[in-house]
Structure 1
Amino acid sequence: MDNLNTQLINEYVQALGQDVFIQTVELYEQQAQAYLHQLGEVAKIADHVQWQLQCHAMKSAAGNMGLQQLHAMLSSLEHSQETALQLTQRVEQLTQLNQQSLQQLKQWLAQG
């Protein structure tokens, strides 16, 4: 569960209740798909300004969900000046890490 900040997640679950937090996870999943789509589009043309904006938005959302490894990766990529090809590869990496993190989060919630 190293992808997760379980202390933060546990605090949210205690404050909101598990059902509400699961709804929040579902909302994040939808929003993350939109962020990843936008990152893919701006990566194709290496639009570094929009890349930064989209990374920042997704970084905030991931951090709020307790997805600490994804948050850290987005933080490190936020000011990237890489080429379109490199940015496109980063989107693939982000997509995989997002999926892994969400899977771990759901497993953690199922155990609780």
Structure 2
Amino acid sequence: MATTQHIDLILINGYLEALDLAVIEQMLDLYIEQSALYLTAINRAVVNMDEKAWQEQCHKMKGAAASTGLSQVHQKLLLIEKSHEDAETKAQHLQALSLLNQQAIAAFQQWFAEQ
């Protein structure tokens, strides 16, 4: 898995210059917890066919992914946040987003292990 494919190394290395490695680890841990909550809320929005909740939760997760440096997750959320597709298509987006999120977290953890 290519770390640079999933994470914004310029942003993360900038954090590394300004912050202790332990702070970056806490940031990742917080993102992992929050992203699970966002994904659950996004799923609930799909099930309830709640367009407003879909957009709100995608927007929140998009910001969290961007500030954590998970560039591909951020890009995926940019694409789907304002989509007005049917529930089946949104469920497919959610499945792809969940997988992408797992891959990005693994890439970040791999980067962290190499520091």
TM-score range, shorter chain: over 0.9
Q: Please tell me whether residue 101 in structure 1 is matched to residue 104 in structure 2.
A: yes
How many correspondences in the alignment? 112
Structure 2's unaligned 5+ residue stretches are none
- Segment drifting more, 5-14 vs 32-41: 5-14
The secondary structure found in structure 2 opposite 1:20 is: helix
The one-letter amino acid of 1:44's match is V
Aligned to 2:29: 26
Identity %: 37
Aligned to 2:73: 70
Aligned CA-pair RMSD: 0.8
Distance 2:16 2:41 in 1: 30
The one-letter amino acid of 2:19's match is L
CA shift at 1:46, angstroms? Answer: 2.2
Aligned to 2:19: 16
Distance 1:57 1:15 in 2: 25
The secondary structure found in structure 1 opposite 2:6 is: coil
The secondary structure found in structure 1 opposite 2:83 is: coil
Over residues 11-58 of structure 1, what are the superposed CA-to-partner deviations in whole Å (9 max), with x where a residue is unaligned? 112211111110110011000000000000001122111111111100
Aligned to 1:89: 92
Distance 2:33 2:7 in 1: 19
The one-letter amino acid of 1:85's match is E
CA shift at 1:3, angstroms? Answer: 1.0
CA contact (8 A) 1:44 1:85 kept: no
Distance 2:105 2:40 in 1: 17
Q: Please tell me whether residue 48 in structure 1 is matched to residue 37 in structure 2.
A: no
- Segment drifting more, 40-49 vs 18-27: 40-49
The one-letter amino acid of 1:53's match is E
